[in-house]
Amino acid sequence: MSSLPSIRRSGVYSLLVLLLAGLGACIPRYGFAGGGLPSNIRTMAIQPFDNETPTPELQRELFDAMRKELQSRLGVRDAPVERADALVRGVVRTYDVDVPVGFTATSTQQAVTTRRKLQITIDVQIIDQTNGKTLWEKKGLRAEGDYAERDEAGGRREAIKRVVNDIVEGAQSQW
């Protein structure tokens, strides 16, 4: 007789586990696999952006940052242009440096800039190469980067990081 309550108890537990598992199967699952891109987009190629600025290193730095971040954050693999499901292309329109942000004064009351910012403006497009449709596009995407006096490269890295983040967020918003 002492084994009867334990059998009932284990049966109740088993039934409870089955009910919870069945209930869990009925709940719709939401996720961000594929980064908000259509399910047919598994590979992506990133073309170096055309550079309309007098800063040649900007094109390479933007390209490197996009290759590093876009594919991993959007859940796609790298592929050559001719075999990629999606293509990222664009144009770097402006690169404005030395926009004063903060000032300090010397003992002679002469203003000396201590902080500066730069601005990068790009046009970007993500295209589904299987059907030629534009998945996401933004013209005039602008990002800024603050930097200390004589550290333009640091400000450029910050602005590029913000541009790449805005591209990822834009692509993910399409789901």
pLDDT per residue over 98-152, tens digit each? 776 666 656 666 666 578 899 999 999 999 999 999 999 999 999 999 998 888 9
49 or 2, greater pLDDT: 49
pLDDT at position 116, please? 87
Question: 71 CB contacts (<8 Å, ≥6 apart)?
Answer: 44, 46, 77, 78
We report the CATH number of the domain holding residue 139 as: 3.40.50
The total number of structural domains in the chain stands at 1
**How large is the greatest C-alpha to C-alpha distance in the chain, in angstroms?**
99
pTM for this entry: 0.72
What's the CA gap between 158 and 97, in Å, rounded?
13
Report the mean per-residue pLDDT for the chain.
Answer: 83
Rounded to an integer, what is the distance from CA 104 to the centroid of its chain?
36
Please give the structure tokens belonging to residue 170.
């834009």
Mean pLDDT (whole number) for 76-88: 97
What mean pLDDT comes out for the span 28-36? 46
Q: How far is CA 21 from CA 14, 16, 156, in A?
A: 11, 9, 51
Q: Is the pLDDT of residue 25 over 70?
A: no
What is the three-class DSSP state of 127?
strand
Q: In what helix (H) or strand (E) does residue 103 lie, and over which residues does it extend?
A: strand 86-105
- 109: containing domain: 3-172
Structure tokens at 22: 């069945």
- pLDDT value of position 60: 97
Q: Is the pLDDT of residue 74 over 70?
A: yes
